[in-house]
Chain A
Amino acid sequence: MNVYGLDMDAVSFSYPDGGKVLGGLTLRAGPGIRLGLVGANGAGKSTLLGLVAGIIEPDGGSVTIGGLLLGKRTLKEIRSRLGFVFQDPDDQLFTGSVFDDVAFGPRNLGMEEGTVRERTESALRTVGIPELSDRPPFRLSGGEKRMAAIATVLSMDPGLLVLDEPSAALDPKARRRLIGLLSSLPQTMLIATHDLDLALELCDEVAVLHAGRVAARGSAADILGDGELLDRCGLEAPLSIRACPVCGKRAAL
């Protein structure tokens, strides 16, 4: 598998009503890096992810994945390099069975049915739900749906994973399984999340989005331990590093 880095250079984007979301944003993630993207509501996280996947086009600047510049001509190749996991897994699971959903991408890549089956079964094993292969997606629990949604992109063997709020609406055990899974994958990851504890535990680096720009970027511990920065950007320190409400002690980072 090729692991691809991401390079966004001076990217700007405004919605048709004139609302500027991103203004000259520059962001880089080297191959194999897990980069957390945090920011208050409306900071532009989802827009940024949409730009990376070519769902929306930037007004200016460039997006490069694995050295390939994103554009109309390269869109197909770019999309074969990245796996995009939507915030709502129901948006991603639209066929009649988990197997068909996971096989959807490989089949569209024109693979032989034997290879499709191999990849699908492997992706389902990786996320730990091989027994759900024949189940219809609408009968799955939230945690199972999330794993199935991740399997739908893993079956395409992407070098870059883009995840929008991967821990949203998961119970603690399912969230723990998700963190275990993501930390075991070799791909470069761009993870937009409000779950700062997940970012702290999972990400090598964290970028804080504020007012359409990267307000700060650094190691997860440095960024998420900077209370003043987080407060300025409309965020709060992760629960795991706040002082204990009973004894007042802080966990060591």
Chain B
Amino acid sequence: MRDPSRTLAAFYSIDELSRRRSPVHDRHPVALCASTAGFMIAVASFGRRDVSAILPLFLYPVLTLALADLRPAELFRRLAAVAPAILAIAALNPVFESAPVRVGPWTVAGGWLSFVSLAAKLTLTVSAAFLLVATAGMNGVAAGLRAAGIPKLIILVLQTTYRYVALLLAEVAGMSRAHELRSGPRKGVGRTLWGPMLGGLLLRSYDRAGRVHDAMGLRGFDGEFRTGKAARFGKADALYCSSWLSFFALVRFVDVTGALGRMMEGLAFGVVR
């Protein structure tokens, strides 16, 4: 099992990433949220065997990573963490969809196409979600949701849950260290301890969450997280958002990959002739 304190550090590191300055970080959170939402809708709208048509959408995470000055490793680490889940979800497709389909000169089970398509879609959406939080920050995401008309209570639940996860991880890190130091050569937590440890974890984190809530209430917290970020949606934000949304619409309604392929074919044919 991964060291919980490292998981906690990785969790907090997303907050650190969101405080950087870059052409993407400087965009209004609403512009970032709208672009991400448009991206996810575009990804989800493709058919279950569409593979080549989705490929141009990889430009979004690649370009965002570059513009936001984020290291690809930051994203790959998160993707690696969810990769087993992605593969587990997509892996059954080749089993249940055995009807053959032609892919260029090859004939493969249709399930393999939907496997690749589903894995690509999940990779894209997970990447987009990470990039949104790493550039807008959790407060920015909340501001974007608020602007989209999501009720304040739901946003409050989202933000407090996010903070509670950090708190829970901190408690897990403490308990796991205490257990490890007294468990001798034995690895992992014995089954008989699962119940008491889980119960203890919930009670401890509940207790801690109560103290954090008191600390917030004592400093005037009334249910709304105020970030103090400038709330003005400027021209650059509008341009950023509309450019991406136009690109997603283009990819969705025009077969960009096919057109590019035909163009390349034409060029090659011209050269040969």
Interface residues of A (CB under 8 A from B): 53, 55, 76, 79-80, 82, 84, 86, 88, 90-92, 94, 96-97, 100, 103-105, 107-109, 113, 116, 134, 136, 138, 152-153, 156
B16 and A94 contact, CB distance less than 8 A = no
The chain B residue sitting closest to A108, CB to CB, is B220
Asked if B228 contacts A86 (CB within 8 A), the reply is no
Given A88-B211, A113-B228; 17 other pairs, CB 8 A cutoff: A53-B214, A55-B214, A79-B219, A80-B220, A82-B218, A86-B214, A91-B212, A92-B215, A94-B216, A96-B18, A104-B216, A105-B219, A108-B219, A108-B220, A109-B220, A134-B19, A152-B219
- By a CB distance below 8 angstroms, the chain B residues around A90 are 170
A91 touches B218 (CB 8 A): no
How far, in angstroms, from A107 to B228 measured CA to CA in the complex? 7
Query: Known contacts A96-B16, A136-B15: does B215 contact A108 (CB below 8 Å)?
Result: no
Question: Does chain A have a CB within 8 A of B3?
Answer: no
Option from A84, A94, A96 in Cβ contact (under 8 Å) with B19: A96
6 CB < 8 A contacts A-B: A76-B220, A96-B12, A104-B219, A104-B221, A108-B220, A156-B220
Q: Who on chain A is nearest to B218 by CB?
A: A84
What CA separation (Å) do A85 and B193 show in the bound complex? 35
Name the distance in Å between A142's Cβ and chain B's nearest Cβ.
15
User: Is residue B199 within 8 Å, beta carbon to beta carbon, of the partner chain?
Assistant: no
User: Once A and B bind, how many residue pairs between them come within 8 Å at the CB atom?
Assistant: 67
Task: For A136, list chain B residues within 8 Å (CB).
Answer: 12, 15-16
The answer to whether the Cβ of B191 comes within 8 Å of any Cβ in the partner chain is no
Partner of A94 from the list B9, B137, B163, B220 (CB cut-off 8 Å) is B163
Chain A contacts for B214, CB-based, 8 A: 53, 55, 86, 91
Q: Is the interface of A mostly helix, strand, loop or mixed?
A: helix
The residues of A that contact B19 with a CB separation of less than 8 Å are 96-97, 134
Q: Quick check: A94 and B215 within 8 Å, CB to CB?
A: yes
B38-73 interface code vs A (CB 8 A; 1 in, 0 out): 000000000000000000000000000000000000
Please tell me which one of the listed residues B8, B18, B221 contacts residue A108 in the complex, with CB atoms under 8 A apart: B221
Contact B211 A79 (CB under 8 A): no
B163 contacts A108, C-beta separation under 8 Å: no
Give chain B nearest CB distance to A102 CB in angstroms.
10
Docked Cα-Cα span, A84 to B215, in Å, equals 8
Q: Does B182 contact A (CB under 8 A)?
A: no
Query: Is the Cβ of A79 less than 8 Å from the Cβ of B217?
Result: yes
B164–chain A nearest beta-carbon distance, Å: 10
Closest to B220 in A: A108
A83 to chain B, nearest CB (A): 8
Nearest residue in A to B170 (C-beta to C-beta)? A90
Residues of the B chain whose Cβ atoms lie less than 8 Å from the Cβ of A156 = 219-220
Q: What separation, in Å, do the CA atoms of A26 and B210 have in the docked complex?
A: 28
Q: Mark B188-232, 1 if CB is under 8 A from A, else 0.
A: 000000000000000000001001101111111110001110100
Q: How far is the CA of A119 from the CA of B35 in the complex (A)?
A: 35
Please provide the 3 A-B residue pairs with the shortest distance between their CB atoms, ordered closest to farther: A108-B220, A96-B15, A105-B219
Q: Would A86 and B215 count as touching, CB distance under 8 A?
A: yes
What chain B residues lie within 8 Å of A107 (beta carbons)? Answer: 226-228
Q: How far is the CA of A156 from the CA of B221 in the complex (A)?
A: 13
Contact partners of A86 in chain B: CB under 8 A: 211, 214-215
Choose among A91, A96, A116 the residue that contacts B215 (Cβ–Cβ < 8 A). Answer: A91
- Give the distance to chain A from B203, nearest Cβ to Cβ, in Å: 16
> For the complex, what is the distance from the CA of A241 to the CA of B15, rounded to whole Å?
48
